[in-house]
Structure 1
């Protein structure tokens, strides 16, 4: 069986990466959830109504979508930041290696953050990373911008500029 291996053989990050690469995609997600559980990072996911309430009472809305997605429209908030968790490249989306550094330069570890994306997947991963990095007050907005718009909550959509 090519998927059979001993746990004792997973002694280095390289060995673990090779083992993860051999797993089916769905099991990588399960592995991620397992790592979250054992790491002590407890992601709290809130719905868009709770997110709206927190944003209106001073929480920072951290939009982790790409710059291109953000420019098409985003959650209307007094305090909104766009720091992409994933970046567009010619080969597709890749994780932003500077994500935590960029958030740390814009926010304090004690700040209350509502983390959102398009549908709730990237924000879940981003929130887990933030919690692991010491941002104790980060919450994931489940459903993302899609649910925000479905609920007819306020959005900021830039007006198209007319060409002369």
Structure 2
């Protein structure tokens, strides 16, 4: 019976180390000046992203001929663009990459980092503002 508790405990410890917020909390923080860090691939980002004044796309995973691999320069790229005290909301497509990215950022000394649970899919599902190529063409 103890074996079945271990995966749950690991998941709990991983998620508790990274503060996860929902899309509505993320929207409120973005509106008050937090930077939205989209960790999806460039292609995913270009197909549509959270509509935010302060937004940055630094992929956590990169597309390669051998499939997706972790971006070896992720922490370096974020450190060049942001200060360790900046308030960051980290989002991806579904919430898995952003949770890993948030955990890595916190481990690297970033102090004010929140993971947006549910990712871009949940943002869209809740009809929150997006920036898409189609939206630009409609203007």
How many equivalent pairs are there?
Answer: 132
* 1:24 equivalent in structure 2: none
* Correspondence list, 1:55-70, <5 A: 55-70=30-45
Q: Which of 38, 43, 68 in structure 2 is aligned with 1:93?
A: 68
What is the alpha-carbon distance in structure 2 between the residues aligned to residue 54 and residue 137 of structure 1?
Answer: 11
Q: Which runs of 4+ in 1 moved over 3 A?
A: 29-37, 159-162
Describe the superposition over 1:90-133 as per-residue Cα deviations: whole angstroms up to 9, x where unpaired: 11000000000000000000000000000000000000000000
Report what 1:119 is aligned to.
Answer: 94
Note closer, same or farther for the CA distance 1:31–1:96 as it changes in structure 2 (3 Å cut): farther
Deviation track 1:6-59 (CA, whole Å, cap 9, x = no partner) reads xxxxxxxxxxxxxxxxxxxxx9x779758859xxx8210000000000000000
Relative contact order, CA 8 A, sep 6+: which one is greater?
2
Query: Quick one: which of 71, 74, 94 aligns to 2:49?
Result: 74
User: For the pair shown, which has the larger CA radius of gyration, 1 or 2?
Assistant: 1
> What do you get for the CA RMSD once the two structures are aligned?
2.5
1:1-164 correspondence runs (5 A):
33=11, 36=14, 42-159=17-134
**CA drift at 1:75:** 0.2
Could you tell me which runs of 5 or more consecutive residues in structure 2 were left unpaired when the two chains were aligned: 1-5
Structure 1 gap ranges (5+): 1-26
3-state SS of paired residue (1:114): strand
Distance between the aligned counterparts of 1:32 and 1:100, measured in 2?
A: 23
